[in-house]
Structure 1
């Protein structure tokens, strides 16, 4: 696709999958798993000695391997759990355009999208000794996958194809490898939103109830709810939610209580609190509210594990919006915005204990870290880590 799917100034060129950022990066179609890559060292985490308050944990970094100045695979690093300081490590090679990463619940396998015209997903086994093995790659059946997630059962990988506006399901074997795709659903209706040229599935995530899967489509201004058949790996639509026309919903994050979710809308620069019914899978969006950032393009929102605070990445202003979560998740109160310390923060991630916040800054090719205070405050932690075209960061347990 040569034209951007929605007009806006200075958008990242990843939207133009056939020319520019990802030109010439398509994987060869592969009906079977690719040949496993030779195991290569990655940094192993070190546990804290008895009585010590600190330890180092692994951090994985997604990139575009075909972008100018991009990486050569999945970046690795370690971070200090007390200070947030990040130390770079080697690269997991044999993975094309790994722009989004997700960890299996067992912690033994990481999955990466191959964001390119011939979309694909790749499985990489992670060993406790710091070695890895690329288990193989499967086509998603669509183009430009931007997001993937693992169903809580650990048996299904879900992926969203942005450029073709579809979502896919792959089975996960006992060793973490991927089987042939079991379903592919294209968002053929409703018609594209204002300024859009078609559906653009940007995210797919399982609700806390485990029985419903929600797909966020920026092109149709719709969040689709599906029921996943856990025996067959197929999706059945059960509900649709429609935020404001032209809002461009990009990313949905659930409150830990499971009754509310927060929608980051890229095109109208708002955050929307949504009520969620776990019995029916129905999502009910409220009215969009300010990101506090002026003109910008919201990317991703994360919520602390205790459900007390939410943080939003704002591309353009290069800031982080802080919200206090109130009324058991039913409301977000804007606190302030703070500089992210990089350019074009595309993705955020919390450490497993929600004590640290990491931001992947695409245009500055850096990862920045912040300590989270008991009052939700953000304090820069250590120096920014140079990371080629950093577009995703994944702290491991």
Structure 2
């Protein structure tokens, strides 16, 4: 009996150990140089930190931003291109059992270089931000993933002080408020964050005439946004000045309470992505250009920021993502054609570079799949 018990105990430990090794898939948005390139599907092993390419969805032009619906059955990608009718937004169905993608619909966005896309909370609308077009497109989408031609287009006007980068509006990010029926839109070109209410039961979806615009410091260039879970703080990267800003949100109003530098002062900076840890104790921001780094910021009392680490990356870190278990960060470096793995200390927030990496052509976005 003792031998049988020991054997059973050993097998139980073995099974538990195997089940604890989780593999996570990610979609990788890229700039495609050939027709054989496109959306990449990669696999990450949380135990070994190995990262590998699983498949490529080819035949799509510059799918720089790619997301899924909640059930992972529909994939959306922008095609960051330009033309008479703008770039495109394209939908796919995904079948998990066969790991297969089927292209469904593709529509012009009526704005050049779409660079961000989001599902509405009920997943019956798709919102696309067009960087060079300086506008916001809204499309209907059915349960199967079929898009309908855009039923709303919001065009922004204006400019700001940086004559090279802010000669016109540049929509760069769309995020839904976690509690209220509104979206926040970052306009790098006009130094503004737009808060737009929406009504899920009405057409048009967005209440454009009820927009509240918050101006930020001239020449800062708001790029990416992230809300905390309570929805009372908004964190923003300022691309042109390499800064992170903190906003309080209350009674439909954004109030900037702090700005903290990510690098030495600059007017041509290139701050990019911003991510918030699950416990909301740490912020992470990427900086490209001359710096090529991730900056780790501790959040004190939910508001005050403190830089606790600056760590070098490969060339041109665009987007990055914190893994589900919060123990690693995957960094997409466009200029080095790499996705690199960093270890993350959950208590201190600090990162350590590893030797694990994967070659991908011009990776610029990561989405958990």
Q: TM exceeds 0.5?
A: yes
Query: Aligned-pair RMSD on alpha carbons?
Result: 2.0
Partner residue of 1:393? 366
State the distance in 1 between where 2:352 and 2:129 align: 33
Point out the more displaced range, 231-240 or 79-88: 231-240
Q: Distance in 1 between matches of 2:300 and 2:36?
A: 40
Q: Is the 8 A contact 1:85 1:382 kept in 2?
A: no
Deviation at 1:344, TM superposition (A): 0.3
1:333 aligns with 2:300: no
SS in 2 for 1:363: helix
Does the 8 Å contact 2:298/2:307 carry over to 1? yes
Bigger proportion of residues as strand = 2
Gaps in structure 1 of 5+ consecutive residues = 1-47
Structure 2 unaligned blocks of 5 or more: 1-13
- Structure 2 equivalent of residue 14 of structure 1: none
- Given the alignment, which residue of 273, 293, 297 partners 1:319? 293
- Larger C-alpha radius of gyration, 1 or 2? 2
Displacement of 1:185 after TM fit?
A: 0.2
For normalisation by structure 1, the TM-score amounts to: 0.81
Matches of 1:80 and 1:113, distance apart in 2:
28
Aligned residue runs from structure 1 range 296-315, under 5 A: 296-315=269-288
The structure that is helix-richer by fraction is 2
Deviations 1:242-268 (A, max 9, x none): 110000111111122321011100111
1:364 to 1:70, Cα distance in 2 relative to 1, 3 A: farther
**In the alignment, what sits opposite 1:142?**
111
The alpha carbon displacement at 1:210 in A equals 4.2
Whether the 8 Å contact between 2:235 and 2:247 is mirrored in structure 1 is yes
Which residue matches 2:326? 354
- In the alignment, does 2:35 pair up with 1:75? no
Q: Shift in Å at residue 56 of structure 1?
A: 1.3
CA 254–49 in structure 1, closer or farther in 2 if over 3 Å, else same = farther
Distance apart, 1:220 and its partner CA: 0.2
Matches of 1:84 and 1:310, distance apart in 2: 22
- Residue 109 (structure 1) aligned with residue 78 (structure 2): no
Shift of 1:82: 2.7
Q: CA deviation at 1:194?
A: 3.2
Contact 1:366 1:387 in 2 (8 A): yes
1:1-397 aligned at under 5 Å gives the runs 50-52=16-18, 53-66=20-33, 72-117=37-82, 118-129=86-97, 130-189=99-158, 191-195=159-163, 196-231=166-201, 232-236=203-207, 237-277=210-250, 279-280=251-252, 282-292=253-263, 296-316=269-289, 317-327=291-301, 329-340=302-313, 342-374=314-346, 375-396=348-369
Is the alpha carbon distance of 1:364 and 1:55 closer, same or farther for their aligned partners in structure 2, counting shifts above 3 Å?
Answer: same
Q: Distance in 1 between matches of 2:24 and 2:258?
A: 39
Q: Shift in Å at residue 378 of structure 1?
A: 1.1
TM-score (norm 2): 0.87
Pairwise CA distance, 1:50: 4.8
For residues 179-206 of structure 1, the C-alpha deviation after alignment (integer angstroms, 9 at most, x for no partner) is 22121101124x4343221111111111
Residues matched between the structures, number: 342
